[in-house]
Structures are given as C-alpha cells and as structure tokens.
C-alpha cells in the first residue's frame, strides 16, 4: 500500500506536499527526542521530535519540525521528499503527551 500525498500549488508555483490521516496506521512517542539536528537557538529546518508515525506502507518515520519564529511545521521524509503533516495528525500527536 502507498502513502496518499496531496499536492497544492501555492503562490509562486511552490508545490506543498501534505499527508493526511488516512495514511496513518499508528503513532508513537519516544521518551525523549533525539539530540541530533538541534541547534542552540532551537530554530532550524530539520529538528527531530520525539514522535514517529507508522504509515500505510508499513514504514515508521521520524517526525521533524521546520521551526522559524514562534510557529513550526511538522513533517516526515518520504522517499527523500519533505511531506508536511495535516492538522489532524498534529492534533493526534499532541494527544500522546498524556
């Protein structure tokens, strides 16, 4: 089975790739986030989170956040491509906090 990736053409011709909750099988939360990729400022393009997601292709992928300023965008890497998580998945990950 493959992961369903939705594409939206944004202004300037940028294509936003987003995965929906219909491709998610299971959500995981590690005790701590990996330290690699963290910066002193806490901002950056690929900061690893303590979350992992098992998708419909049966692969478990680490969730990263692209953090600049006060808000960030959560994403996973699928076949070398950055694919952002929709808000439903982000809310489900937040529920794992306890």
- Read off the pTM: 0.86
pLDDT at 98: 65
pLDDT tens digits, one per residue of 31-65: 988 888 888 888 999 999 999 999 989 999 999 99
- The pairs formed by 45-48 with CB atoms below 8 angstroms and a separation of 24 or more are 47/72
Rounded to whole angstroms, the Cα distance separating 75 from 48 reads: 10
Residue numbers of the domain that contains 86: 5-95
CA dist list (Å): 94 to 29, 49, 50, 97: 10, 12, 11, 6
pLDDT at 10: 80
pLDDT at 21: 85
* Pairing, β 71-78 against β 60-68: antiparallel
Rounded to whole angstroms, the Cα distance separating 76 from 90 reads: 12
Number of independent structural domains in the chain? 1
pLDDT tens digits, one per residue of 3-32: 778 888 887 777 888 888 888 899 999 998
């Amino acid at each position: 089975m493959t992961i369903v990736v939705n594409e939206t053409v944004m202004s300037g011709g940028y294509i936003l790739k987003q995965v929906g909750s219909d491709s998610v099988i299971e959500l995981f939360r590690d005790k701590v986030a990996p330290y690699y990729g963290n910066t002193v400022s806490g901002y950056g393009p690929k900061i690893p989170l303590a979350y992992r997601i098992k998708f419909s292709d049966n692969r478990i992928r680490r969730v990263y956040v692209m953090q600049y300023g006060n808000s960030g965008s959560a994403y996973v890497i699928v076949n070398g491509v950055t694919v952002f998580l929709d808000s439903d998945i982000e809310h489900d990950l937040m529920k794992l906090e306890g």
